[in-house]
Chain A
């Protein structure tokens, strides 16, 4: 490159330099040409490499500060060694040897670990096949009934004694360390074994460690000499006791999920029972209800045994007209008392089928729904209820705002995937308001749906259980619907559930009262306790502040001892839950869900706990759309306050670290770590509040299904259906087939053994992706279309197979990362007034940062000197 002052001026001005600056720099260039030997190879090499060596100036508008930047960067380049391939010195040689050793050792360890895991995975099968097991079980079978009972009794007694010892024995540092290492070692080995007994083993270990922790907390960590300490300590301890209860009850509830299969129906459909399918609606769009009704019309159930009713509490003419048009029943009532439960009760009075299927108007049943569910009613005459999961084909606010739709199990999956299946084991699966079949006689025996609380579903199930009816849960998604589309609506729905469950807990407490088995009580109690999580969660989010701000010793013990007790308690609980729930909820994500809800359910649940009669019914809004991305400040507000408090706590921590007594350093550090963790969890909750824009009104369901396309010319092509909604579909064509928008085509879709053709026109083509909309479909064709898409028997199967496997540590890192992302989003969505306020500051920071020296990119294969040579 040659520099000359004449071209330099033009060069600077074309890059947007202001005139005086350009003049000044041209002068500088002139001086440089005069005084420096720029044509020498060294200078030329430097100039040729200037883009790489001065990255901050590349493409930048020349400004007055640039000479200073050049100076700083030059100094930096001189001081810093070029990233060249270095000659290895003796020190680095030794280092490399050490690293090599370490690498091989690691590989060897991993090799042995892999082999160990393989052995562990085969262990249960090998044990089952072993002679020892055969002999032992033969001996046991040989014993008399009394001897067997005695044997088991003694065994249980010994186990209990040992467990009691493990829980209550006070240990010193070293003994406790040995103890937790031992238990953790067992857990780490056992978790690799497949099967249910290792899961039970993990549960036992976790229970022992958690009980030991709680015992220690009650017996030796309360400071009775200081009121503040005691009050704060007792509050925290109460919260921890609550968590402990939920943990242990949860273990009981889900230790042995039943995983029930559908029962076969009689071969002759003439013997199948009659079913009334009820679709209660209040204010939802007809478009939402239409799909549900069309799907119901195509259910595989003898036509004379199936009656479909729209129960319209909105009393809308359009709905009546639609019901007449498609030939389904339409029921209205004079008043709107008791909302949905009242609506259903009224309909019960004017219908007469043996079974009642209930669908919320936005839950689309698949065609096999009744054949999957009704079989159990014929097998078990005392069966009152078969519930199936609520599946959602659109992302809920968590999934949408965190971008985890179909990659990670969602919030509801734990309940429908595991908890209900666990409940089913104890005959305690309960009604969830939709996607369920109930027996009319059972409902009549309890006087219809319960109307006293705002969660009529769970209350109805509880009453039926009290009457001695049983229930079943089938974990096959046989219906799907839209998820709530905004965070505030989602929270509103959860508030209603929480309030309702706590109301039942107060008015019709499952722990007391007659008619329930012990385990049914446990399952119901846990379901209701679960919704009381708000206050304890808030306590955990603020607990370390009690020490940092108020200097209250909430856990009156040395910091190291706290770690030795708390960490194993948390690690074991995480390991066990990851093993039991990993498929349905990834570790630590529960913290995020709970934190978001905590503030909002804390108040209504507490109110309902003391005044169960208060509270109103609110309908969950669905089917709308978010016009633009926004940050829900109203929802996030409490969390911003909490975050501010915690940041203040961190400030106090720094202050205490420097001014406090040295004996407290450990406590300060532990508290600070807790605060940082809390801050990140709050950050994750804040991240959820940043609502992502939702573009389409009709949600498109992703799918991968073979289909056919017939063009107007008579040529037919196979293609793949990749997404669909209730108005159109998206197709993936193969290479070489081009369609123009507006072209008329026929789409061929398969379902079961039948094939259907639908007239459609092309709306858009993007590459090989084609969008179609349908028109002029007859009534029957619209039903067929719904049955080729939403109502396919396999439409929602296998969604969780796409989820990433749960790994607790990675999950923790992801949740913590999400926390950081939350604060970034907060900055992005800052209100304009705050932004204008902060703009000068940001500009200053940017300007200062522009002077920062940069490390140039290394050249991959040669350096400038070599090239010059």
Chain B
């Protein structure tokens, strides 16, 4: 299910708008601020961090592998 054009959330996604403006749907964009936020969240809430670590080992919930490089 991809969001349709009528979805107002689509208009507020600035990166989607940028891709559309550039006419580059395959533009590789990394939302670093979100990745940093995720890292901070995992540190802030111990249970969350623990669950993500254990599920990463289980392979059930696979966190994105790219994130390791962006640790602050």
* A–B touching in complex (CB under 8 Å): yes
**Contact of A269 with B70 in the complex, beta carbons under 8 Å:** yes
Contacts of A753 in B (CB 8 A): 13, 31, 34
User: When A368-B29, A753-B34, A797-B21 are in contact, do A267 and B15 touch as well, CB less than 8 Å?
Assistant: no
**Contact of A752 with B27 in the complex, beta carbons under 8 Å:** no
Instruction: Kindly state whether residue A367 has any CB partner on chain B within 8 Å.
Output: yes
Separation in Å of the A721 CB from the closest CB of chain B? 9
Separation in Å of the B16 CB from the closest CB of chain A? 8
Contact with B along A749-769 (1 / 0, CB 8 A): 111111000000000000000
Contacts of B37 in A (CB 8 A): 754
B28, B34, B36 pick with most chain A CB within 10 angstroms: B28
Name the contact of A371 in the complex, choosing from B30, B34, B66, B69 (C-beta under 8 A).
Answer: B30
CA distance A793 to B29 in the complex (A): 11
CA distance A797 to B7 in the complex (A): 20
Instruction: Kindly state whether residue A591 has any CB partner on chain B within 8 Å.
Output: no
B22, B31, B32, B66 pick with most chain A CB within 10 angstroms: B32
CA distance A836 to B71 in the complex (A): 73
User: When A302-B69, A706-B11, A752-B14 are in contact, do A787 and B33 touch as well, CB less than 8 Å?
Assistant: yes
Instruction: Kindly state whether residue A301 has any CB partner on chain B within 8 Å.
Output: yes
Contacts of A513 in B (CB 8 A): none
**Contact of A798 with B11 in the complex, beta carbons under 8 Å:** no
Interface residues of A in 298-336 (CB under 8 A from B): 298-304
Name which residue of chain A comes closest to B8, CB basis: A706
User: When A262-B22, A304-B72, A371-B30 are in contact, do A793 and B66 touch as well, CB less than 8 Å?
Assistant: no
Name the contact of B32 in the complex, choosing from A267, A269, A795 (C-beta under 8 A).
Answer: A269
User: When A304-B72, A752-B31 are in contact, do A261 and B15 touch as well, CB less than 8 Å?
Assistant: no
Instruction: Kindly state whether residue A792 has any CB partner on chain B within 8 Å.
Output: yes
Name which residue of chain B comes closest to A749, CB basis: B12
Name which residue of chain B comes closest to A271, CB basis: B69
**Contact of A793 with B14 in the complex, beta carbons under 8 Å:** yes
**Contact of A476 with B15 in the complex, beta carbons under 8 Å:** no
Contacts of A797 in B (CB 8 A): 17-18, 21
Contacts of B14 in A (CB 8 A): 367-368, 751-752, 792-795
CA distance A300 to B28 in the complex (A): 12
Separation in Å of the B14 CB from the closest CB of chain A? 4
Separation in Å of the A785 CB from the closest CB of chain B? 13
CA distance A453 to B24 in the complex (A): 40
**Contact of A261 with B22 in the complex, beta carbons under 8 Å:** yes
Separation in Å of the B25 CB from the closest CB of chain A? 12
Instruction: Kindly state whether residue A268 has any CB partner on chain B within 8 Å.
Output: yes
Name which residue of chain B comes closest to A375, CB basis: B28
CA distance A182 to B28 in the complex (A): 51
Name which residue of chain B comes closest to A270, CB basis: B69
Contacts of A300 in B (CB 8 A): 29-33
B14, B28, B36, B66 pick with most chain A CB within 10 angstroms: B14
Contact with B along A576-597 (1 / 0, CB 8 A): 0000000000000000000000
- The interface residues of chain A, by DSSP majority, are classed as loop
Instruction: Kindly state whether residue A264 has any CB partner on chain B within 8 Å.
Output: yes
Separation in Å of the A49 CB from the closest CB of chain B? 58
Instruction: Kindly state whether residue A549 has any CB partner on chain B within 8 Å.
Output: no
**Contact of B36 with A303 in the complex, beta carbons under 8 Å:** yes
Name which residue of chain B comes closest to A304, CB basis: B72
Name which residue of chain B comes closest to A707, CB basis: B12
Which size class do A's interface residues fall under? 35 or more
Name which residue of chain A comes closest to B40, CB basis: A780
Separation in Å of the A857 CB from the closest CB of chain B? 49
Name which residue of chain A comes closest to B21, CB basis: A797
User: When A269-B69, A718-B8, A753-B13 are in contact, do A301 and B32 touch as well, CB less than 8 Å?
Assistant: yes
Interface residues of A in 242-273 (CB under 8 A from B): 261-262, 264-265, 267-270
CA distance A794 to B14 in the complex (A): 5
Separation in Å of the A706 CB from the closest CB of chain B? 4
Interface residues of B in 45-72 (CB under 8 A from A): 66, 68-72
Contacts of A705 in B (CB 8 A): 11-12
Separation in Å of the A698 CB from the closest CB of chain B? 22
Name the contact of B24 in the complex, choosing from A262, A267, A371, A792 (C-beta under 8 A).
Answer: A262
Instruction: Kindly state whether residue B9 has any CB partner on chain A within 8 Å.
Output: yes
**How many residue pairs between the two chains, A and B, have CB atoms under 8 Å in the bound complex?**
90
Contact with B along A283-310 (1 / 0, CB 8 A): 0000000000000001111111000000
Name the contact of A262 in the complex, choosing from B15, B17, B27, B30 (C-beta under 8 A).
Answer: B27
CA distance A280 to B10 in the complex (A): 36
Contacts of A750 in B (CB 8 A): 9, 12-13
Contacts of A270 in B (CB 8 A): 68-70
Contacts of B28 in A (CB 8 A): 264-265, 267
Contacts of A267 in B (CB 8 A): 28, 66
Separation in Å of the B2 CB from the closest CB of chain A? 13
Contacts of A367 in B (CB 8 A): 14, 33
**Contact of A269 with B30 in the complex, beta carbons under 8 Å:** yes
CA distance A300 to B36 in the complex (A): 10
Contacts of B12 in A (CB 8 A): 705-707, 749-751
CA distance A751 to B66 in the complex (A): 22
Contacts of A476 in B (CB 8 A): 21-22
**Contact of A793 with B15 in the complex, beta carbons under 8 Å:** yes
Name the contact of A793 in the complex, choosing from B18, B36, B70 (C-beta under 8 A).
Answer: B18
Contacts of B33 in A (CB 8 A): 298, 300, 367, 752, 787
CA distance A815 to B68 in the complex (A): 59
Contact with B along A192-219 (1 / 0, CB 8 A): 0000000000000000000000000000
Separation in Å of the B52 CB from the closest CB of chain A? 18
B18, B36, B71 pick with most chain A CB within 10 angstroms: B18
CA distance A797 to B18 in the complex (A): 8
Contact with B along A38-62 (1 / 0, CB 8 A): 0000000000000000000000000
Separation in Å of the A749 CB from the closest CB of chain B? 8
Name which residue of chain A comes closest to B37, CB basis: A754
**Contact of A754 with B34 in the complex, beta carbons under 8 Å:** yes
Separation in Å of the A802 CB from the closest CB of chain B? 14
Name which residue of chain A comes closest to B39, CB basis: A303
User: When A302-B70, A303-B70, A705-B11 are in contact, do A794 and B30 touch as well, CB less than 8 Å?
Assistant: no
Separation in Å of the B11 CB from the closest CB of chain A? 6
User: When A705-B11, A706-B12, A787-B33 are in contact, do A798 and B21 touch as well, CB less than 8 Å?
Assistant: yes
**Contact of A368 with B15 in the complex, beta carbons under 8 Å:** yes
Name which residue of chain B comes closest to A721, CB basis: B12
**Contact of B69 with A794 in the complex, beta carbons under 8 Å:** no
**Contact of B69 with A752 in the complex, beta carbons under 8 Å:** no
Name the contact of B34 in the complex, choosing from A261, A262, A299, A752 (C-beta under 8 A).
Answer: A752
CA distance A148 to B68 in the complex (A): 56
Name which residue of chain B comes closest to A264, CB basis: B28
Separation in Å of the A781 CB from the closest CB of chain B? 13
Contact with B along A548-579 (1 / 0, CB 8 A): 00000000000000000000000000000000
Interface residues of A in 796-827 (CB under 8 A from B): 797-798
**Contact of A794 with B34 in the complex, beta carbons under 8 Å:** no
Name which residue of chain B comes closest to A302, CB basis: B70
CA distance A323 to B30 in the complex (A): 27
CA distance A794 to B17 in the complex (A): 6
CA distance A864 to B71 in the complex (A): 89
Interface residues of A in 447-481 (CB under 8 A from B): 476
Known A298-B33, A705-B11, A706-B9; further 8 A-B contacts with Cβ < 8 A:
A262-B22, A262-B24, A269-B66, A368-B14, A787-B33, A793-B15, A794-B18, A795-B14
Q: Write 23 A-B pairs (CB below 8 A) sorted by A numbering.
A: A261-B22, A261-B24, A262-B24, A264-B27, A269-B69, A270-B68, A270-B70, A300-B33, A301-B32, A302-B70, A303-B36, A304-B71, A705-B11, A706-B8, A706-B12, A750-B13, A751-B14, A752-B14, A752-B31, A793-B15, A794-B14, A794-B18, A797-B21
Chain B residues in the interface with A (C-beta under 8 A):
8-9, 11-15, 17-18, 21-22, 24, 27-34, 36-37, 66, 68-72
Q: Report, nearest first, the 8 A-B pairs whose CB atoms are least far apart.
A: A270-B69, A750-B12, A794-B17, A793-B14, A300-B32, A792-B14, A794-B14, A706-B8
